[in-house]
Amino acid sequence: MNNYIVSCLAGVGASIAIGLLSHLEASLMDVALIMAPFGATTVLVFGLPESPLAQPKNVILGHLVTGFIGVVFTQFIGVSPATLAIATGLGVSLMLLTKTTHPPAGANPILIMLTGQSWEFFIYACAYRSCVDCFSG
């Protein structure tokens, strides 16, 4: 397939994935399924599916590791410039140590901490959504 067709198909796939989840999120009360890092995840999953960073293990576990860190800091440690930096660095280190690096997931602690998210957000947005991205790609 030529590059034009592959690029267009990747864009369509990303649009469908984000569109379906946006629609589902809008129809459910108090459930967040979308967060900004998933836009970058769709670039990798649909645009560069052969990349090691776009593999299901990296996408799912990368979002889970960093999402978990973000919620733990939000719920138990607190949010400050120092904790934002520590949580983000911890997320990067754990993804690298566990060989689950997924660059878009690096933004999760910042997003989760700045918006004060809870475990429900972690379950729906991080766990459920990262699985949907992988298996729809």
Each residue's pLDDT tens digit, 62-93: 999 999 999 999 999 999 999 999 999 999 99
Give the pLDDT confidence of 25-76 residue by residue, as tens digits. Answer: 777 766 676 778 888 888 999 899 999 999 999 999 999 999 999 999 999 9
Amino acid at 109: P
Query: CA 48, CA 54: separation in Å to the nearest integer?
Result: 7
**What's the number of CA atoms in the CB half-sphere (13 Å) around residue 75?**
12
Whole-number pLDDT of residue 39: 85
Contact assessment for residue 70 and residue 112, using Cβ atoms and an 8 Å cutoff: yes
Amino acid at 98: T
Task: Tell which wins on pLDDT, 2 or 52.
Answer: 52
> What are the backbone dihedrals phi and psi of residue 35, each rounded to the nearest 5 degrees, phi first?
-145, 155
Please name which of 63, 52, 48, 67 lies closest in space to residue 137, comparing C-alpha atoms: 48
73 phi-psi bin (left φ>0, alpha ψ -120 to 50, beta other): alpha
Query: CA 133, CA 19: separation in Å to the nearest integer?
Result: 12
Query: CA 2, CA 5: separation in Å to the nearest integer?
Result: 6
